[in-house]
Amino acid sequence: MELNVNHFYEENLGMIKIAPNVIEIIAKLTALEVEGVAGLNGGVTSEIAEFLGRNKSSKKGVRVEAGQKETIVNLNVILKYGFSIPVVAEQIQASVKDTVENMTGLSVVEVNVHISGVEFND
């Protein structure tokens, strides 16, 4: 499924198309930059699909629902032990929303953060 984003400029240069996997990659990289995030986790079904070669690791832990002007981002996050879950989750939401909107021009209506694990330091 390809996302069609129509931006009309004074010169009417044409249509801009952004594939949903581009939004997924932007969201993943942005979330991983937030302090306290250890990684992303796609869950059991994602791990089975990856084992069978049907899931690309670049999108692991991220799901995007995209329309022509708006998008919803869902992230399954593993946090580092000792960090405040609400604080880190809010930082993820704000960072992902700002970055996706700035890079794509889409309006991000939701960034849902699902804490799927905690990583402990050895």
Domain boundaries, the chain: 19-119
Architecture of the 19-119 domain: 2-Layer Sandwich (3.30)
Res 31 pLDDT > 80:
yes
Can you give the pLDDT at residue 54?
57
For the chain, how many helices (H) and strands (E)? 3, 6
How confident is the model at residue 25, as a pLDDT?
96
Q: Is 10's pLDDT higher than 90?
A: no
Model pTM score: 0.78
Query: What pLDDT is recorded for position 52?
Result: 62
117's tokens: 């694990």
